[in-house]
Amino acid sequence: MIVESQFKPAWWLKGGNLQTCYPSLFRKKSLPNGCWKRLELADGDFLDLFIAEPEAYAGDYTSENAPIIVLLHGLEGSIHSSYAHGLLSQFVKQGWGGIQMHFRGCSGEPNRNARAYHSGEIEDFTYVLNWLIEQYPNRPVAAVGFSLGGSVLLNYLGKKRQETRLVGGVAVSVPLQLDISGARINQGFSRAYQKMLLDSLREKIRNNEVLLERLQLSKQDVDEISSFYHFDDKITAPLHDFASADDYYQKSSARQYLINIEKPTLIIHAKDDPFMTVEVIPTEAELSAEVTFELCNSGGHVGFVSGNNPLQPEYFLETRIPQYFAQLFER
């Protein structure tokens, strides 16, 4: 089902680029109370989690029935992303636990193996969910993903169908067709976002000898990567056993899996998202009965800033997402 969103963009932040840039550039960050947990993996690598819990559960919350929501960040995101701070704080206010899962290499420490993360990689997320269910068997678990993290979540839900204890999810600003998004972000002002993200990605590769050796690339080779398509063709595809960037895009684009989702899922998307074009928006026929596609005329990429007072901006996602989860948990 495709529905029109109630989101109204702030009058002083018109257009997708302003909506996109404002939160990351100007929002004050306030990390909720929490702790770090490292999960050691069978392949010798690790995943880092940041766990935020209501104070009432801080001592012994394993016996509680409060829901837990796993947050999946976007490309090169982390617990320090502005949306992570705000949303985890809202979850805690609701009396829920919030967990920021960091994809490999995104927690501030290089990973050990010649492996990274990508839009269709669901094994690590599956591992975290299984760990959570084992640790807290009485607590319902849901998930929210932003951009690339939303792609991971939708891939997971579409492939697992009913074979998951996840009660539902929310995905925001997802590049549902990776080929379209890769082409769009290499055009116009959007190339500024591409450059910022590629700078971070290239630095990680340059500083990781394990990855360089596995890829048989020099640091100069990495420096010459100038687009997401080039990066995915030279780095993402060979690291994760895809034949090429095109093969990766075809197999990992989440749009094809939406029809298979059997858990309640909300997708929030803006028409003016500068990371993609309106061509990525699915039709009603591509959505399963469990998927609600909430379409906004504006909002940018993981922006969705509203309010009449520039000194007190409002963040729509931090109201809409908890509202959806509250209804889900009541069910």
Q: Which amino acid is at 249?
A: Y
253 catalytic residue (yes or no): no
What is the distance between the alpha carbons of residues 213 and 284, in angstroms, rounded to a whole number?
Answer: 46
Could you say which of 85, 102, 118, 301 is catalytic? 301
What is the distance between the alpha carbons of residues 204 and 110, in angstroms, rounded to a whole number?
Answer: 8
Signed CA dihedral, 52, 55, 59, 63: sign only: negative
Could you say which of 48, 124, 179, 273 is catalytic? 273
- Both tokens of 23, joined, read 């939160």
Other Cβ atoms closer than 10 A to 14: 12
273 catalytic residue (yes or no): yes
Q: End-to-end CA distance of the chain, in Å?
A: 19
What is the distance between the alpha carbons of residues 242 and 182, in angstroms, rounded to a whole number?
Answer: 17
CB 99 within 8 A of CB 139: no
Q: How many CA atoms lie within 13 A of 151 on its CB side?
A: 24
What is the distance between the alpha carbons of residues 237 and 316, in angstroms, rounded to a whole number?
Answer: 36
78 catalytic residue (yes or no): no
Q: For residue 97, what are the β-bridge partners?
A: 68
What angle, rounded to 10 degrees, do the helices at 148-160 and 123-135 form?
70
What is the distance between the alpha carbons of residues 90 and 83, in angstroms, rounded to a whole number?
Answer: 11
- Judged on CB neighbours under 10 Å (0-12, 13-18, 19+), 24 is middle
The continuous run of DSSP H or E covering 98 comes out as: strand 97-101
Could you say which of 107, 147, 181, 298 is catalytic? 147
Please identify every residue annotated as catalytic: 147, 273, 301
